Amino acid sequence: MNMSVRPQPRPGVMQIDAYVPGKSKAAGVAKIHKLSSNETPLGPSPKAMEAIRTFDHLELYPDGAATKLREAIAARYGLDPNRIVCGTGSDELLSLITNAYVGPGDEGIFTEHGFLVYRIAIQAAGGTPVVAPEKDLRTDVDAILKKVTDRTKIVFLANPNNPTGTYIPFDEVKRLHAGLPPHVLLVLDAAYAEYVRRNDYEAGLELVATSENVVMTRTFSKIYGLANLRLGWMVAPPHIADAINRIRGPFNVSGPAIAAGIAAIQDEAHIAKAIEHNERWLAWLTREIEALGLKVTPSVGNFLLVHFPQEAGRTAKEADSFLSSRGLILRQVEAYGLPDALRLTVGSEEANGLVVAALRDFLGGKNA
């Protein structure tokens, strides 16, 4: 067929590498432990589940402004609800922000091993992705600032970063912001902020409140366990919130998601339980895996980046196959430029124990 006589996507669309989620299946295995997508092993708040079960009137459109959810978020963090925009996961908000502020000829910056969605969002908006090198798998503020040009419109900072699990202190975030021209938008992606237990870390609410060019995005997919509902939020200066509200879908957040989100963010006991579980098992997994002779990047999230040697029988790809044969699904991170590593989500007590035992057998040369 003549390609010229059928609809063609605009230039650049077909050059985008589609996002590939972490796998969730393994052939021939009875029980699967999915540790590839940083989902919480505790599941959602029982109160969130009850909110969904008792939700009715599916025939009616939801509140297009997600008013009660924005008010619940505002109450939780001491924010102005008018500065909050809710979305179908923080992924949608990242795309909306990029579409609002980036166009052909513009540049967007993210770090070397930053979240894959940043590149996709910039390319989808017709912009040019610019990659800033990291230092020891950590964000390098000076490297980002060196990449800024007259064409730079947006800088994405995942803090903590996925898939490395590393973070930069709030002083460094402020230094990055101070070094950016005022017309450049700094997007702080704080998807894993709730898990961080470091005195020098802040998600960035203060910086958003006192700046005209800083936005922070958050998600209900991680610690709140609502990944299947697709729910996220952002807080921004009023002029940015206004721009995003003009281009987002009129009913982009469903009623059940709104109800579950309100219940989830108010269930402080469930959140505390999730934090306690993660703190215990993140440290345990790090210690046990390092004891096997594998390098683990220090993480403040709910996942670990585990590095494997480049020797036959011990590579990351072979480890992934071995673990999959035992029903343990980890995340290959070759697309992030890390072909010799696997990302491991902190799972249940059972899953964590099985992963360490399987890695011990893998490194010891035992068959699956």
Rounded Cα gap, residues 18 and 107, in angstroms? 20
Condensed to tens digits (0 to 9), the pLDDT of residues 228-257 reads 999 999 999 999 999 999 999 999 999 999
Rounded Cα gap, residues 261 and 263, in angstroms? 5
Cβ atoms of 166 and 299 closer than 8 Å: yes
Rounded Cα gap, residues 63 and 67, in angstroms? 7
Whole-prediction pTM value? 0.94
Strand 84-87 with 232-235, pairing: antiparallel
What radius of gyration, in Å, describes the C-alpha atoms of the chain? Answer: 21
Cβ atoms of 149 and 141 closer than 8 Å: no
Rounded Cα gap, residues 95 and 125, in angstroms? 8
One-letter amino acid for residue 257 of the chain: A
Rounded Cα gap, residues 130 and 107, in angstroms? 7
Cβ atoms of 310 and 278 closer than 8 Å: no
pLDDT 10s per residue in the chain (368 long)?
Answer: 566 688 888 888 888 888 777 776 666 677 899 999 999 999 999 999 999 999 999 999 999 999 999 999 999 999 999 999 999 999 999 999 999 999 999 999 999 999 999 999 999 999 999 999 999 999 999 999 999 999 999 999 999 999 999 999 999 999 999 999 999 999 999 999 999 999 999 999 999 999 999 999 999 999 999 999 999 999 999 999 999 999 999 999 999 999 999 999 999 999 999 999 999 999 999 999 999 999 999 999 999 999 999 999 999 999 999 999 999 999 999 999 999 999 999 999 999 999 999 999 999 976 65
